[in-house]
């Protein structure tokens, strides 16, 4: 089986995986607590640990390792342990987000848990997955965008920048948020769409130079700063609101006696901004380090040239 088919299988595995955790990623009203007592007491270990999600991620990683082995045998320089570790941490981030305490608390409308879940899925997970992808993946994806007149628009970094930030900001407008979370299918579709836009945003930053777009390393650093600026108004709306702007927050179970719904709302906004700052800062550091390595390699090549060639 050739590498393109291997990549297609990996893509399908990731797509079908995204359809699996419907009971956890969306705030399914059928799986919320309905009686007094602890939040976790009414759930079975199966519902909390979500073994179906765990084993589906294991399958995805096995397929990924098979693809990487095929790539390393066909392309030089692709046998990179760091890529495999990054991809693994990306899958672990998915599991932590969609299973266990974060998922249960988010499903019961704990706003801070919901924001942590979204921050992990939109801001932390995509770059880890993309850093783990081999160079041939970006070549393959680039050819797909070039061939399709409709998809070609996504080669524009500006589209990736605006699409993710606008969609995520619109989602957190109180009226829209309150309507969407009550519609199970609509909520699941909205998460899938925003997650896709997050990948499109991140791929412009993490794609090798010359693939997907022609942004230089300096432009990519500016791109990340622009992302941080665009998401700030939504964070400020949540953190500095004088009252609870999401009525559903008042319906959530109270975990601590000293915590109020407004505290939960503010904590959600702080988590959103804090995770974004850490992740974007790490991305800028990653881009800068790649830029520095490239410059050092160029300087080393110049130093190795004969004096007559330099002159």
pTM of the predicted model as reported, rounded to 2 decimal places: 0.84
Predicted confidence (pLDDT) per residue in 219-261, tens digit = 999 999 999 999 888 888 899 988 999 988 888 887 777 788 8
pLDDT the model gives residue 3: 59
pLDDT the model gives residue 130: 92
Region at 36 (left for phi over 0; alpha for psi -120 to 50; beta for the rest):
beta
- Can you tell me the mean pLDDT for 280-298? 87
Higher pLDDT, 46 or 17: 46
- Asked if 178 and 247 count as a contact pair (C-beta separation under 8 A), the reply is yes
DSSP characters for 115-155? HHHHHIIIIIHHHHHHHTS-HHHHHHHHHHHHH-TTGGGGG
Among the ranges given (77-81, 180-184, 253-257, 268-272), the one the predictor scored with the smallest mean pLDDT: 77-81
């Amino acid at each position: 089986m050739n590498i393109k088919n291997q990549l297609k299988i990996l893509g399908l595995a990731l797509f079908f995986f995204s359809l699996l955790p419907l009971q956890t990623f969306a705030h399914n009203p059928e799986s919320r607590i309905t009686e007094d007592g602890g939040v976790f007491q009414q759930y079975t270990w199966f519902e909390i640990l979500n073994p179906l999600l765990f084993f589906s991620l294991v399958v995805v990683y096995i397929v990924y390792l098979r693809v990487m082995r095929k790539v390393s045998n066909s392309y030089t320089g692709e046998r990179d342990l760091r890529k495999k570790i990054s991809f693994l941490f990306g899958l672990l981030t998915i599991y932590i987000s969609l299973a266990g305490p974060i998922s249960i608390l988010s499903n019961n409308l704990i706003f801070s848990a919901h924001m942590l879940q979204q921050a992990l899925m939109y801001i932390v997970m995509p770059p880890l997955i993309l850093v783990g992808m081999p160079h041939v993946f970006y070549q393959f994806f680039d050819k797909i965008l070039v061939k399709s007149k409709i998809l070609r628009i996504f080669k524009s970094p500006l589209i990736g920048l605006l699409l993710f930030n606008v969609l995520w900001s619109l989602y957190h407008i109180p009226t829209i948020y309150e309507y969407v979370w009550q519609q199970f299918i609509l909520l699941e579709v909205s998460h899938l769409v925003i997650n896709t836009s997050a990948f499109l945003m991140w791929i412009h930053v993490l794609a090798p130079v010359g693939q997907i777009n022609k942004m230089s390393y300096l432009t990519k650093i500016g791109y990340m700063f622009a992302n941080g600026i665009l998401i700030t108004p939504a964070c400020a709306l949540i953190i500095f609101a004088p009252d609870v702007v999401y009525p559903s927050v008042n319906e959530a179970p109270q975990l601590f006696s000293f915590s109020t719904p407004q505290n939960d709302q503010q904590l959600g906004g702080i988590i959103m901004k804090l995770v974004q700052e850490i992740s974007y800062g790490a991305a800028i550091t990653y881009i800068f380090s790649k830029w520095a390595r490239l410059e050092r390699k160029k300087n080393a090549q110049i130093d190795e040239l004969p004096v007559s060639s330099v002159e």
